Amino acid sequence: MTDVGEVIARTHRAEWARVVATLARRFGDLDIAEEMAAEAFATAVERWPVDGVPPNPGGWLTTTAHRKAVDRVRREARREEKHREALMLSDTPEPLGAIDDDRLRLVFTCCHPALAMETRVALTLRMVGGLTVPEIAHAFLVQETAMGQRITRAKTKIKAARIPYRVPSREDLPARVTGVLAVLYLIFNEGYLASDPGQEAVRADLTAEAIRLTRLVRALLPADGEVVGLLALMLLTEARRAARVSASGELVTLGEQDRGAWDRELIAEGHALVRARLASGRAPGRYQILAAINAVHTDARDIRDTDWSQIVALYDQLLRLDPSPIVRLNRAIAVAELDGPEVALAEVDRLPLEGYHAFHATRADLLRRLGRSVQSRAAYDRAIALAGNTAETAYLIRRRDQLTGP
Amino acid sequence: MAQYLMSVLFDSNDLATDDEMAAIDVFNEQLQADGHWVFAGGLASPDTATVVDGRNGEPVFTDGPYLESKEHVAGFWIVEAPDLDVALRLAAQGSQSCNRRVELRPFLTA
């Protein structure tokens, strides 16, 4: 029984997106695709423990879901004549986009620019990731009903506004891929540093899902350097997850992490991806540069071995692509290691990031290193007030309380 | 094919400049040549609006627009397009030609 349960869970992870995507193409309707895929899995949960697992679980699910969908469309066609058109439609193949893969089309439909960012995230997790509405609602701390409505509204808009179910044409592709990667990175980051104090500090389920989906996109678009870059970035970040929160639930900064607890396998894979991109000789994008920065960090056996000049150089490269204050803040943190806290503080103080907790946390640390305790304490207070993550708050409070003297 | 309303959003009563009018003409001709054209028109300023309420027998006429807002609809296109991606491309070209923001909405289909 347990074995069958495991097979079903594994099949769900591996096959959900394929089943939904195949049905979406055949019926041109995300609602039908999703509901019938869910029903097919429900049937599997009933039948497989009795009948045994079929030799081709994915094919069994697709066939079952397809049969259920046809039944439903027929039922509705009898009820209302004009639904007959829907049946006819299912035989008309949609024009293929740049790449012919149902799952990729599903990803691009869920991440369509006409949908709000938060809706794209929710829809991607539901349709491509197969997460349930309560799971998504839990992950993003909203009411289940609100999350359900958000997904329903998105599907309505897809239908009413005729958001096409297809991979965008080649000239639109780069811009659309960027949107897809932004959604995946958002899912990963919410997992890696949960933004709400009511949540666990690190959500391994979300980081794992983001990595899985990024692997999927990479398998589908192997030539896109930024997809590789994002995957490498996620792997090199994920590799440090176990060392990132202490037993007492406090954030452990990079310098203090037990590097023996880092996941060597993920690091090796991430490094290989970064090296392959470098070898391609093509100009790297934002995710590739961020991955390279993380490759330098994970290369060092000790924080003191870190090649800070290379990290600063990479941030300079990133600044040319994205001259945002947040990039400048991160660059300043590396500058502090290279040129000292005074130089870094001068740069940080110029940044318009008053409402961002990491800005105050960085200032607090630099001021502490310069022995300016009073100002440092004030900056820690500000950072604590703005931080949402429990592990981070615990860390900031301890650092503040360690301050001595004026 | 579906029909879409492309509303031109604007925040002053200034009319389109000669250059903008010329660009709009080029865009309109292209819409017609490509078979997207249904109808289009510019609207007089919101000051010219009258709100009419005929729901309770004797109609009530109220001077001025229904909503006092910074932005109003200055004109519109109705276009025909197979899907949203095509309509979005048309809206982007429309916005560029008239040099104003454009809101895109599908008509309800029966």
Residue ranges of B 44-83 with Cβ closer than 8 A to chain A = 81-83
Q: Which of A39, A34, A8 is nearest to A21 (CA)?
A: A34
End-to-end CA, chain A: 65
Q: Cα(A27)–Cα(A90) distance, rounded to whole angstroms?
A: 5
Shortest Cα distance from B98 to chain A (angstroms)?
21
Q: Is the pLDDT of residue A325 over 50?
A: yes
Q: Is the pLDDT of residue A129 over 90?
A: no
Cβ of A161 under 8 Å from any chain B Cβ?
A: yes
Kindly report the pTM of this predicted structure.
0.80
Contacts of A234 (CB under 8 A, 6+ apart): A185, A188, A207, A210, A211, A214
Predicted confidence at residue A200, as pLDDT, reads 74
pLDDT in tens, B42-90: 999 888 889 999 999 999 998 888 767 788 899 999 999 999 999 999 9
Predicted confidence at residue A406, as pLDDT, reads 63
**How many Cβ atoms from other residues are within 10 Å of residue A332's Cβ?**
26
For residue A108, which phi and psi values (nearest 5 degrees)?
-70, -30
To 10 degrees, the CA torsion angle through A297, A299, A304, A307? -70
Element (H, E) at A153: helix A144-160
pLDDT in tens, B78-92: 999 999 999 999 999
Predicted confidence at residue A82, as pLDDT, reads 57
Using the beta-carbon criterion (under 8 Å), do B84 and A168 form an inter-chain contact? no
Cβ of B92 under 8 Å from any chain A Cβ?
A: no
| Res. A78 pLDDT band, cuts 50 70 90 | confident
Residue of B nearest to A169 (CA): B85
For residue A381, which phi and psi values (nearest 5 degrees)?
-55, -45
DSSP E strands in B1-110: the ranges are 2-10, 37-42, 50-53, 60-63, 72-81, 101-106
3-state helix, strand, coil in chain A (%, to 5): 75, 0, 25
Is the backbone of residue A328 left (phi > 0), alpha (psi -120 to 50) or beta?
Answer: alpha
Who among B81, B87, B106 is closest to A160 (CB)? Answer: B106
| Res. A92 pLDDT band, cuts 50 70 90 | very low
Tokens of A259: 């590097």
Residue of B nearest to A82 (CA): B110
pLDDT in tens, A162-208: 999 888 887 788 778 988 999 999 889 888 877 767 667 777 888 98
The CA–CA distances, whole Å, from A275 to A267, A269, A293, A301, A306 equal: 12, 10, 12, 19, 18
Which of the pair, A269 or A175, is modelled with greater confidence?
A269
Q: Cα(A195)–Cα(A181) distance, rounded to whole angstroms?
A: 20
Predicted confidence at residue A136, as pLDDT, reads 84
Predicted confidence at residue A85, as pLDDT, reads 54
**Residue pointed to by tokens 């452990």:** A252
| Res. A221 pLDDT band, cuts 50 70 90 | confident
Q: Cα(A191)–Cα(A140) distance, rounded to whole angstroms?
A: 10
Query: Over chain A, what is the mean pLDDT?
Result: 88
SS3 for A188? Answer: helix
ipTM over 0.95: no
Chain B CB contacts of A160 below 8 Å:
106, 108-109
Using the beta-carbon criterion (under 8 Å), do A163 and B2 form an inter-chain contact? no
Using the beta-carbon criterion (under 8 Å), do A164 and B2 form an inter-chain contact? no
Cβ of A200 under 8 Å from any chain B Cβ?
A: no
Which residues are bridge partners to B50 per DSSP?
A: B63
Q: Which of A30, A208, A196, A41 is nearest to A119 (CA)?
A: A30
Residue of A nearest to B2 (CA): A162
Predicted confidence at residue A20, as pLDDT, reads 93
| Res. A267 pLDDT band, cuts 50 70 90 | very high
Predicted confidence at residue B6, as pLDDT, reads 97
Which residues are bridge partners to B10 per DSSP?
A: B72
Predicted confidence at residue A88, as pLDDT, reads 46
> For the ranges A93-102, A312-321, A357-366, which has the lowest average pLDDT?
A93-102
Tokens of A137: 């609602």
Using the beta-carbon criterion (under 8 Å), do A161 and B106 form an inter-chain contact? yes
Number of CB pairs, chain A paired with chain B, less than 8 A apart: 27
Predicted confidence at residue B59, as pLDDT, reads 92
Predicted confidence at residue B76, as pLDDT, reads 97
Who among B81, B84, B105 is closest to A163 (CB)? Answer: B84
Tokens of A180: 């897809």
